[in-house]
Amino acid sequence: MLEVQELTKTYDGQPLLRGITFSLQEGETLCLLGPSGSGKSTLLRIIAGIEEAESGRVLWSGVDLARVPVHRRGFGLMFQDYALFPHLNVAQNVAFGLRMQGLPRAEVEARVAEALKQVNLEKFASRRVTDLSGGEQQRVALARALAPRPRLLMLDEPLGALDRTLREQLLEELRHLLRTTRIPAIYVTHDQEEAFQLADRLLLLHEGRIEQAGTPDEVYTHPATPWVAAFLGQMNLTRGRVVKVEPLEVETSLGRFRASPAGGDVFRIGDEAVLLFRPEGARLEGADSEGVLIRGHVDDVVFRGGGYYLELRLPEGEVFSFHVNRAVSRGAKVGLVLPAENILAYREAR
């Protein structure tokens, strides 16, 4: 439905977007995930028509939108700051855009009622927006974006101003709403938990480029670059040199490890490589047990849901983090057995 082709944008002479290309399918929720300054919000504004790109195209069902103004694109927008009118009540805020379109009063009232029902605010229609909580105001903003029945919904950090509990609640409601209505959506966030919970597909942006695209499971399980791994909290990285290619083995300051090539990389003996030790799949053993690959002293251990988060200080001074299935004492010397598929190798040049 939506096609973005080779979008570029500069700011103060510096590249902000560098040839961004992707598509969005009917009923799909796409999350643009990345740190501040990676170009996420700028990309959203270009798609909406609020900003212009230096080059590239935005198409909807094959039609170039370059000459289509914002109000005729049929896209709904929702921002973090709500942008509600304090002198209007809930229903009037939701109706504002519909009235600007010149729709008949009866249709406006029907759409307002429909949108408020979608966000569970039917009983708040006559309430002043200044009397609402932050979460309720965010629901009003969402209802206002939904009321015109947009063909694409775009949300820019919409839950960033809310506390964690309320954010999780609204995120689940939004997920249910998008699945129910089948409205295609683009959701901008720097929070990977939000993105993983909501997205059908992720685009990870870094310095104006798409670093990786895929489902949340694909991106987390097989990060395409060391940057992706680190951004997703997988910080167990070390450098080494390839000493064998079939199977792949890399010699590092921590020892020699069998690894799986990541991101389609092809290695030759002597190549420099970066190894990622994924935190999942580690098995605790005694430090001198057979098959142990990593040894160290426990700096910290924290219970998290179905397991424990372990910080392990290695003899070389590095601190790696792993998820394990049982607790150990702080200061204990332990060993970890790691499956080869959870040790990923990247070419140093990446």
Could you read off the pLDDT of 207-252 as tens digits, one per residue? 999 999 999 999 999 999 999 999 999 999 999 999 999 899 999 9
* Parts of the chain belonging to CATH 3.40.50.300: 2-224
CA–CA gap between residue 113 and residue 118 (Å, rounded): 9
Sheet strands side by side (includes 283-286): 283-286, 333-337, 294-304, 307-313, 319-324
- Is the confidence at residue 271, as pLDDT, over 60? yes
Q: How confident is the model at residue 349 (pLDDT cuts 50, 70, 90)?
A: low
Domain 2-224 has CATH 3.20.20.100: no
The per-residue pLDDT of the chain, averaged, comes to 91
Sorted by sequence, the CB contacts under 8 Å of residue 259 that are 6+ apart come out as 248, 249, 250, 273, 275, 340, 343, 344, 345
Question: What is the per-residue pLDDT for 350?
Answer: 45
Backbone angles phi, psi at 103, to 5 degrees: -70, 150
CA–CA gap between residue 207 and residue 227 (Å, rounded): 11
* pLDDT tens per residue across span 168-180: 888 898 999 999 9
* pLDDT tens per residue across span 114-165: 999 999 999 999 999 999 988 899 899 999 999 999 999 999 988 877 788 8
* pLDDT tens per residue across span 79-120: 877 789 999 999 999 999 898 888 999 999 999 999 999 999
* Parts of the chain belonging to CATH 2.40.50.140: 237-281+292-347
**Residues facing 5 on adjacent strands:** 57
CA–CA gap between residue 100 and residue 244 (Å, rounded): 68
Question: What is the per-residue pLDDT for 112?
Answer: 95
Residues 119-158 as b or e (16 or more Cβ within 10 Å = b) = bebeebbeeebeebeebbbbbbbbbbbbbbebbbbbbbbb
CATH number of this structure's domain 237-281+292-347: 2.40.50.140
